[in-house]
Homo-oligomer: A and B are copies of this chain.
Amino acid sequence: MNDAATSLDALFRPGSVAVIGASRQARSIGNTLLKNLVGQGYTGTVFPVNPAAASVHSVKCYPDVGAIPDALDLAVIAVPAARVPGVIEGCAAKGVKAVCVISAGFGEVGPEGAAAQARLLTVCRRHGMRMLGPNCMGLLNAEPALRMNATFASTFPRPGQVSFLSQSGALGVAVLDLAEDLGLGMRMFASLGNKADVSGNDLLSYWEHDEGTRVVLMYLEDFGNPRKFIPIARRITRTKPIVCVKAGRTVEGGRAAASHTGALAGADAAVDALLEQTGVLRVNSVREMFGVAQALVACPLPRGPRVAILTNAGGPAILATDYLVAKGLTLATLSEATQGALRTALVPEASVGNPVDMVAAAGPQEAARSLELLLADPGVDLVLTIYVPLSTNDPLEVARALFATPQGAREAKPVLSVFLAREPLLEAIKRVGAAQNPIYSHPEDAVLAAVNLLRARALRDDDLGASVRVPVAGTRAGARLAAAPASGWLAGAQALALLEDYGIPVVPTRAVADLRGLAVAARELGGPLALKLDGDAFLHKSDAGGVALGLEGPAAVVAAAESMARAAEAHAPGAAYGFLLQRMAQPGTELVLGVSTDPVFGPLLMVGLGGVYVEILNDVRFGLVPLTPTLARRMLRRLKSFPILEGARGAKPVDLEALEQALLRLSQLVEEHPEILECDLNPLLARPDGVEVVDARVRVRR
């Protein structure tokens, strides 16, 4: 166990806790904290601190932390912000190992608060004291040996193997309630607050080494340090699933950006890419997060998407089928042997195809035997049982039978159980089996959990490979970028040349300053030519009459350039410009490649088919730099329009290898040159014999 991890023991496994700001006033924070610690059976010793009271909740009070006779592992601080610095000094003097600052009024309220927070941190660091918060809602450890609830949550969760960190305190408290409703056992919980000292990454590292934590849940609103998060999360997810709700999908979505790629890449695309590349399972809601957590602690991961449904009621099974197919799972095809055995086990009205409908009268024996048969069928990866309690059987007996049967088979395949029951029956069913069996009251929740189990398996087994470095003319590119303006867009020819430095094929191009050079360049290039105006004032060339295509021979080029020069003068009088002369590209499938830079996550690569696909259908994919060959291939294959690249309607497939290479080289370019903020390769033409960039824009800032 590393140092960071050990040092959190004082927070999560304290032998003694002081509550500073303990209060006799009902509903106050200091009162509730003490009530929860004492009333819910914390196994260590609690010391209330309040100069104005003799006792709180019958426990002797101390005027200040210094007056406490015993050594202290943890102090939970709930006093007004102005008094926190003094209290922290007192804790440091007393030798308290860790503090949890509930008090608000620090970094979240502006520069003054941030300064005060920084001073707290300085004191903590000087004395080797860890700090959770400030502005947090506390922490909890449900291990039976500890039973510490240092939060406002009135519910003490049943002990389990799920640890949960929340960036929203109120949400964290509410979801402890939800977990209990679902029968989900918890291990530890912490509200992060302002993350002055203890960060999400610290908690991940701590739980990585906590044997009792099998699944980690996170509710995040931002990433403090994604570069630190990536290696930690990637390591943990090989052995323990991490499930994350990241809020704010849409809030930052509308950022203005000058490039095509920037406009399409909301910050959320970066979050999606980051989480997938680190093996973290991203879900959309707390309910969905808890639903999959129930399954992750109790079940193996499924080997595939083939679901068998066992039910005593047709309707809910049909609805579940609709939903699971819509979510990408499949209905397993049961073997003849399985169907034959089911026919023997069930009444004649039963339907032994999948979904298996045992019909309403089915009791415990039928349910248990059918489940056994379905688990034994090699064509089944996962079983979903949907039971509607009817008067004709004791539903608790059915639940017991389902839970008791074939433990061996259950260890190989997940069984998710839906009981369309209400309280108190549902609670009784959970008491019978919630520890070993994920139990749901809505088929949709169970299907979503199944989908997420399959995603969790894919993420765990996902081998992204290593990023590969190709030999490039890096020195030339460096010199080229050094010669560019410190901030702004590279001239078109320079942008193309930069790509060529990194081995990305571009259409043969000449940058020519004036009319005189054009005739020479036209002769050199040969063939039909394209002429383009090149200059800062003409970024949208075609608007300025700045593109002429299919020019044959030097005379045609010069004539076009003369007319272009007049148009340029009219469009932006006096603006500087030059010309780009290019050999006309062979027709191909238009793609757009691009890079945008996220302030938190760094460069983000984009690929999409060009033209209407990218603009109207928004069919683009993103990947974080550095790409690996596996990721590059995946970005392409996940495009909805990928069949076009593969050769739809009898066309030849484009050179996918060359396309992947272009993505990888672009990734390497921006990784090696962080001064590149944005670029668009638009269009890049893909053909069966290779790819070629026709136009490119690059923005730099040093």
Q: Are the CB atoms of B388 and A171 closer together than 8 Å?
A: yes
Chain B CB within 8 A of A407 CB? no
Residue of B nearest to A104 (CB): B349
Which residue in B152, B178, B391, B649 is a CB contact (below 8 Å) of A27?
B391
The complex places the Cα of A316 from the Cα of B248 at a distance, in Å, of 11
In the complex, the answer to whether A423 meets B423 with C-beta atoms within 8 Å is: yes
**Chain B residue contacts of A466, Cβ below 8 A:** none
Knowing A287-B442, A422-B155, A442-B287, say if A649 contacts B611 (CB, 8 Å): yes
A250 interface residue (CB < 8 Å to B): yes
The listed residue (B245, B360, B444, B644) touching A319 by CB distance below 8 A is: B245
A315 B171 Cβ-Cβ under 8 A: yes
Residue of B nearest to A220 (CB): B315
> With contacts A285-B442, A315-B170, A322-B249 known, is A641 near B615, CB below 8 A?
no
Query: What residues of chain B lie closer than 8 Å to A27, measured between beta carbons?
Result: 391-394
Known: A312-B170, A315-B170. A323 touches B154 (CB 8 A): no
Q: Tell me the A240-263 residues at the B interface (CB within 8 Å).
A: 245, 247-251, 253
Say whether A178 contacts B640, CB under 8 Å: no
A residues 380-403 touching B (CB-CB < 8 Å): 388-394
Identify A648's interface contact among B152, B360, B615, CB under 8 A: B615
A444 to B285, CA, bound (A): 8
A312 contacts which chain B residues (CB < 8 A)? 170
Does A467 reach chain B (CB closer than 8 Å)? no
Instruction: Please name the residue on chain B nearest to A424 by beta carbon.
Output: B423
Q: Which residues of chain B have C-beta atoms less than 8 A from A617's C-beta? A: 617, 640-641
Option from B318, B422, B643 in Cβ contact (under 8 Å) with A181: B422
The answer to the question of A539 belonging to the interface, with a C-beta cut-off of 8 Å to chain B, is: no
Give the docked Cα–Cα distance between A641 and B619 (Å): 12
Q: Is A166 located at the chain interface by the 8 A CB criterion?
A: yes
A1 at the interface (CB under 8 A from B): no
CA distance A612 to B609 in the complex (A): 12
Residues of B close to A689: CB separation below 8 A:
none
Which residue in chain B gives the minimum CB-CB distance to A288?
A: B444
Q: Which residues of B contact A323 (CB under 8 A)?
A: 284-285
Tell me whether A422 and B180 are in contact in the complex, defined as CB-CB below 8 angstroms, given that A390-B152, A616-B644 are known contacts.
Answer: yes
0/1 interface trace, chain A 602-632, chain B, CB 8 Å (1 if under): 0000000001100111000000000000000
Contact indicator per residue, chain A 89-122, by CB within 8 Å of chain B (1) or not (0) = 0000000000000001100110000000000000
Query: Is A32 in the interface zone, CB < 8 Å from B?
Result: yes
Whether B640 and A170, one on each chain, are in contact in the complex, defined by CB atoms closer than 8 angstroms, is no
Q: Which residues 300-320 of A sit at the B interface, judged by CB distance below 8 A?
A: 312-316, 318-319
In the A-B complex, the 9 residue pairs with the closest CB atoms: A168-B315, A170-B313, A171-B315, A174-B420, A32-B391, A247-B318, A250-B325, A249-B322, A177-B422
28 A-B residue pairings within 8 Å (CB atoms): A27-B391, A27-B393, A29-B392, A108-B349, A154-B391, A168-B313, A168-B315, A168-B318, A169-B360, A170-B314, A170-B316, A171-B319, A171-B388, A174-B313, A174-B316, A177-B420, A177-B421, A178-B420, A181-B422, A221-B314, A245-B319, A247-B315, A247-B319, A250-B325, A285-B442, A285-B444, A612-B641, A616-B641
